[in-house]
Structure 1
Amino acid sequence: MWKRRALGWLFICITGLALLLVRLMEIQLMETETFSKHNVNLLEESVKQRTQELVIDNGRGNFLDRNGEMLTHKKVSVLVLFPFLKKIDWDANKVSDITGIPESVLKNAVKGAKKPFAYGDPQPLELTASQMERVNQLNIPGVFAIEKKFERSQVPAEQLIGLTGENPKEVKKRYPTKELSEKTLLGVSGLEESFDEFLLPEGKSKLVYHVDGSGGPLFGINVKYVDPANPFYPVNVRTTIDKSIQQRAEELVDKYQIKKGGLVLLNIEDNSVLAMVSRPVINKKDPYSGAGITNKMLKQQIMGSVFKTVVAAAAIDHNLVNPARQFDCSKKINGKPELKYNYGMLDFTNSFARSCNRTFGELAKELLKKDPHLLEEYADKLSLTNTVGWQGDVYHTSNFKQLPDEDKGRVFVSDEARKDANMAAMSGIGQNEVRATPLAVANMMATIARGGKKEMVRAVSKIEYKNGTTMVDFPVQSLQGDSISPYTTMRLQKLLREVVTSPNGTGRWFKDLPYEVAGKSGTAETGKYVAGKQLHNKWFAGYFPYKDPKYALVAVNLDVYDSEGGVNLLFADMVKLLYENDHDERRK
């Protein structure tokens, strides 16, 4: 009896030991980087217990503006102090003399520290080059003056640049063949996401020292500098953004209380984004809780009378607008009397300048009779209905897109609407099913300013290695498809200028600006109501200077009451800003 019991206990013990051994093997050999449902990296945690470190650079690639200034981060020369200083006698007085920080303050800061820190973080004291050199010449263990990378509290063009985050499952899904830490930052929106593969870190740069159980130095007080030591990484993504113009544009958008909307500013010469502002802003505490994460400048919007530019191009090409023809602008688009905007009889040029709905409703119906697809054909010629962001082959990635979140535009959704005269008339004034992104509208203006030449819009000009050499170049590229003729382009240019120069033009507010402006206004009914009042999208899209175009600009205020504005003032102040900026550059 007792033998059977002993054998039973022996079997239980052996089984338990075997299971324990298997589990230890799983932990030590197989689950070292993904322990438990929380995917704990045991190797990293073990190292953390034996070391204390200060990360100088997380190793992820950087975004630069067109002049080479960092956009998402900044490098600051800081004083770094290690907590083991509290256990040794160090010359705080000399550090105080160099930095100007009182000796008692330095010692108190170290006394309360549990890990290495940059003095003053999150708003660290910035040292001069001379101060850095003198601090490091002291050769005090645990006292360093280094250049550390800090994330900016306010990132310019934050929706365009995008966000990063940690996601262990996404790391494995996105990069199954790469050996990456599960805490690797991944791009989750904007350029951070589209350029993510280029931005992945080779490793962190950090200052490290080994500690014992009490936090004291384990191998003396030598601090090691750990760096991937790769002369090529991390890379720099050089955007086409001008940081100074971008920041001032954001200030103006907020000044004029654009709560939903923003602006797009293009450099016409190389068709690149100089500034892009989207509102509302991103809620940093909970980015996905509101609409801030969405870049409104890349999403299709109801565009209203700005679309009359497309109708005008089609009407010019199909000989519907001879100079003698008059349109009855005392009537609405449906033929009823126009009480609010009764302009009487107008020719085509004045109809465009005053944005007469009746004229463009009639022209749209006449174009429909000629060909139900004409409006769509001309919208495509002016690059409104397809994406316009740069795309092409980059290394092993075919059809790489800089702006993958960009919407396409549209004129009609259904074939029924395409063949319906009333629907065509509403489409002719940019209502009904007509949609386009502010980026595409800005590109349309740039296309007209260039004489009809269609080009892709770049937000990034190149990717540079750490040593400054070019890794990938994103050249200026043409957009595929037909374009409008030089003659039609010339007629459109004159029409857009007339909007501003005509005494009754809808853009007459811009007549006395330092740069001559050409453009088109738009007020679109959204079909949304608040407190019984309909909401509107307010637009002004144009380019300048008229005779020697440099900039295409779109300002838009979305879902506002008809009485609300801001767009004209925003557009005007941006023109003044750019004029002053250009003349400051010339004086230099």
Structure 2
Amino acid sequence: MWKKRTIQLGAVVILGIFLLLFRLMQLQLWQAEDFTSRHINLVEDSVRQRSQEVVIDDGRGSILDRNENLITHKKVPVLILFPFLQKINWPHEKVAAILGIDEGELLEAIKRIKEPIMYGGSQPFVLSQWQIEAINSLKVPGVFAVERKIALEKAPARQLVGVLGENEKLAKERYPDKEMLSKTIIGVSGLQKSFDAFLVGEGKTKLVYHVDAIGNPLFGASVKYTNLENSLYPATLKMTLDLKIQQKAEELADAHGIKKGGIVLLDVGTNSLLAMVSRPDPNEKNPFSGSGLSNLMLKEQIVGSVFKTVIAAAAIENGLADSPRLFDCSRKINGQRDLQYNYGLLNFEESFARSCNNAFAEMAKDLQKIDPGLIEEYATRLSLTGRAGWEGNVYHMAGFRQLPEEEPGRVFLTDSERKDPNFAALTGIGQKEVRVTPLAVANMMATIARGGAKEQVRAVSEIEYKNSSTMFSFQQEPLPGRTIAPETAQELQKLLRRVITDSNGTGRWFAGLPYEVAGKSGTAETGRFLEDRQLHNKWFAGYFPFDKPRYALVAVNLDVFEDEGGVNPLFSDMVKFLYSYDQRAE
């Protein structure tokens, strides 16, 4: 009996040993880098438990403005101190003298630390070049003067540039043929996402030392510098943004109380993005909470009377603007008396300058009679439908889009709406189903300013290899499809300028600016209400200087009451700043 039990017990023990060995093989050979449903990398975690490290550079490519200023981070010369300095003799008095501080202060900084620190903490002590050289010449183990890459607490153009995150599963899905570390940082929105394949790092630059279970050095006071040398990757993005202009635009948007809305500024000559501001801002601690990460300048919005520019273009090219016809601008589009805007009888040019709703509702119906698709056609000719952002082939990536989050815009939803006179009337004043992005509106103004040349908008001009040589250059490209005739563009230029110069023009507010402005205002009903009051979208879109256009600018404030949230002061201050900025540059 006892022999049988002994045999059974032995079998259980052998089976247990076999299962244990199988489990160890599973952990070490098959699932060492992908353990459990949480995809834990046991190899990395075991190394992490046996070491302490300071990341000097996260390994991701840099993003620069057009003047090669860093956009997302800064590089700061700092002092790194390791915990084992508590247990060795080192020339702290010499280091303190180089720093110009009391040696007791330096010793106090490392008195109770258990991990490497950057001296000064969140406000690091910034070293000069001679201090870096002097400290490193001492060759003190555990004391390093290095240039560290530090993310900006509040980076500019946050929604446009995008945010980063650590997502091992997404990284492996995005790069199935590439060996990705579990803590690899990838782009999850904006340019960081669309250009992620060029920016993604191949490894972090670190200072590492190995420790035992209680934190003591395993191999003496020996710190290892780790860096994956690659002269080509990660790449660097050179944006078309101007950092100083971008920072001023953000400052002005906040100063003028833009809670939901923003600014788009284009360089007319190159059709490049100089500044883009979207509010609300992302939550700094959790950017994915709320709506702050959404770039409203790339989202469809109700545009209001700015759309009358499209109707004007179509009217000019289809013979509706040449006649001596007068429009009754003392009435609303439903025929009722307009007690607020009682302008009387106005011709075509006067109607545009004063933004007469009835005139453009009537012209929209006339255009519909000629061809139900005519209004949409001219919206497309002026780049309000479709997408304005740069799109093309980049190496093996066909149809690469710099701004993949950009929405296409629309005029009608159904064919029955196109043929309905009431829909046409409301469409003529930018209401009903008309939706366009602020970027598209800015591009329309730039198109008119250039005499009808319709181009794609660039946010990035170049991708550079790590050694600063050019990998890919984004050239100016035309937007596909027909555009307006040069003669039509000239007529629109006159109309947009008259909005400013007419004594009753909706843009007369800008008459005294240092740059002569041409543009169009818009106040759109949203159909949304707060406290039983309807909310509106306030716009002003234009270009300047009028005689030699350099800038196309859109300022928009969304979901505000009709008598509040004007964008005129914001637009005006941007024009004044750009004038002074250009004067300093000259």
TM-score above 0.5, yes or no: yes
Q: What is residue 150 of structure 1 aligned with on the other side?
A: 150
Secondary structure at the aligned position of 2:59 is classed as coil
Residue type of the alignment partner of 2:524? A
Secondary structure at the aligned position of 2:20 is classed as helix
Name the % identity: 60
Q: What is residue 393 of structure 1 aligned with on the other side?
A: 393
Q: What is residue 550 of structure 2 aligned with on the other side?
A: 550
Q: What is residue 118 of structure 2 aligned with on the other side?
A: 118
| 2-structure distance, mates of 1:261, 1:9 | 75
Q: CA deviation at 1:323?
A: 5.4
129-138 or 540-549: bigger deviation: 129-138
Q: What is residue 322 of structure 1 aligned with on the other side?
A: 322
Q: What is residue 451 of structure 2 aligned with on the other side?
A: 451
Write out the 4+ residue segments of structure 1 that deviate beyond 6 Å after TM superposition: none
| 2-structure distance, mates of 1:438, 1:497 | 20
Q: What is residue 470 of structure 1 aligned with on the other side?
A: 470
Secondary structure at the aligned position of 2:120 is classed as coil
Indicate if the aligned counterparts of 1:323 and 1:347 stay in contact, CA closer than 8 A: no
Residue type of the alignment partner of 2:242? D
Residue type of the alignment partner of 1:21? L
Indicate if the aligned counterparts of 2:527 and 2:535 stay in contact, CA closer than 8 A: yes
| 2-structure distance, mates of 1:431, 1:70 | 41
Q: What is residue 509 of structure 1 aligned with on the other side?
A: 509
| 1-structure distance, mates of 2:149, 2:473 | 26
| 2-structure distance, mates of 1:527, 1:520 | 22
Write the deviation string for residues 194-218 of structure 1: whole angstroms up to 9, x where unpaired: 0111111111111122223332332
The reply on whether 1:260 has 2:260 as its aligned counterpart is: yes
Q: What is residue 538 of structure 1 aligned with on the other side?
A: 538
Q: What is residue 306 of structure 1 aligned with on the other side?
A: 306
The alignment covers a number of residue pairs equal to 586
Write the deviation string for residues 33-88 of structure 1: whole angstroms up to 9, x where unpaired: 12233322111122122222111001011111111111111000001111111111
Indicate if the aligned counterparts of 1:258 and 1:566 stay in contact, CA closer than 8 A: no
Alignment TM-score, normalising by the size of structure 2: 0.99
The reply on whether 1:84 has 2:88 as its aligned counterpart is: no
Indicate if the aligned counterparts of 2:184 and 2:203 stay in contact, CA closer than 8 A: no
CA RMSD of aligned residues (A): 1.1
Residue type of the alignment partner of 1:524? A
| 2-structure distance, mates of 1:30, 1:104 | 52
Secondary structure at the aligned position of 1:409 is classed as coil
Write the deviation string for residues 180-233 of structure 1: whole angstroms up to 9, x where unpaired: 012211111101110111111111111122223332332232322211111122
Write the deviation string for residues 216-268 of structure 1: whole angstroms up to 9, x where unpaired: 33223232221111112222111111111101110100000000000100011
Indicate if the aligned counterparts of 1:538 and 1:556 stay in contact, CA closer than 8 A: yes
Residue type of the alignment partner of 1:104? G
Indicate if the aligned counterparts of 2:541 and 2:554 stay in contact, CA closer than 8 A: yes
Q: What is residue 410 of structure 1 aligned with on the other side?
A: 410
Residue type of the alignment partner of 2:219? F
| 1-structure distance, mates of 2:564, 2:498 | 25
155-164 or 212-221: bigger deviation: 212-221
Secondary structure at the aligned position of 1:111 is classed as coil
Q: What is residue 230 of structure 1 aligned with on the other side?
A: 230
Secondary structure at the aligned position of 1:130 is classed as helix
Q: What is residue 377 of structure 1 aligned with on the other side?
A: 377
Residue type of the alignment partner of 1:99? L
Q: Is there any run of 5+ residues in structure 2 with no aligned partner, and where?
A: none
| 2-structure distance, mates of 1:63, 1:574 | 25
In the TM superposition, 1:6-25 aligns within 5 A as 6-25=6-25
| 2-structure distance, mates of 1:390, 1:294 | 19
Write the deviation string for residues 71-125 of structure 1: whole angstroms up to 9, x where unpaired: 1110000011111111111111111111123211211111122122211122211
Secondary structure at the aligned position of 2:305 is classed as helix
Q: What is residue 348 of structure 2 aligned with on the other side?
A: 348
Q: CA deviation at 1:285?
A: 2.3
Q: What is residue 334 of structure 1 aligned with on the other side?
A: 334
Secondary structure at the aligned position of 1:56 is classed as strand
Indicate if the aligned counterparts of 2:268 and 2:550 stay in contact, CA closer than 8 A: yes
Secondary structure at the aligned position of 2:19 is classed as helix
Q: What is residue 437 of structure 2 aligned with on the other side?
A: 437
Residue type of the alignment partner of 2:238? R
In the TM superposition, 1:56-205 aligns within 5 A as 56-205=56-205
Q: CA deviation at 1:473?
A: 1.2
Residue type of the alignment partner of 1:504? N
Residue type of the alignment partner of 2:109? A
Indicate if the aligned counterparts of 1:210 and 1:218 stay in contact, CA closer than 8 A: yes
The reply on whether 1:239 has 2:222 as its aligned counterpart is: no
